Amino acid sequence: MRAPEYRDLSGDGKEELIVGIEPGQDVLVLWIYTLKGQTVNQVLDVGVTPLSVEVTRRDVVVREPAEFPGYDIRRVYSWDNRSGAMIEKTVSFDELRPTHGRRHKP
């Protein structure tokens, strides 16, 4: 289990709880919870094979290996006010720079 983090991802001034559990090699289950009134609500439940996970402002950015050599997949999860949850906002394929090589899981 990774150390939990608290960040205001919804923009309401209250921090959400970000939890990552590694049940097996190269797999991370990422959960995010928020408190609405007196109720704890899960707002993200995703399994990934991360090279890196980063929380920037109100986004969670996950980099994963792509199925084809020379590329990584970059997924950005962002708060959606209408659904009241984190949704996958963008998916992009980023070409690896030859000078960096493959990055390793943090």
Q: Look at residue 2 in the predicted model and tell me its pLDDT.
A: 81
Q: Which of 104, 72, 106, 70 is nearest to 91 (CA)?
A: 72
All residues at 6 or more sequence positions from 25 whose CB lies less than 8 Å from its CB, including other chains? none
Q: Is the pLDDT of residue 98 over 70?
A: no
pLDDT, tens only, 37-71: 899 999 999 999 998 999 998 999 999 999 888 89
Higher pLDDT, 40 or 99: 40
In whole angstroms, give the CA distance from residue 70 to residue 8. Answer: 34
In whole angstroms, give the CA distance from residue 66 to residue 47. Answer: 15
In whole angstroms, give the CA distance from residue 78 to residue 44. Answer: 10
Q: Is the pLDDT of residue 91 over 80?
A: yes
pTM (predicted TM-score): 0.82
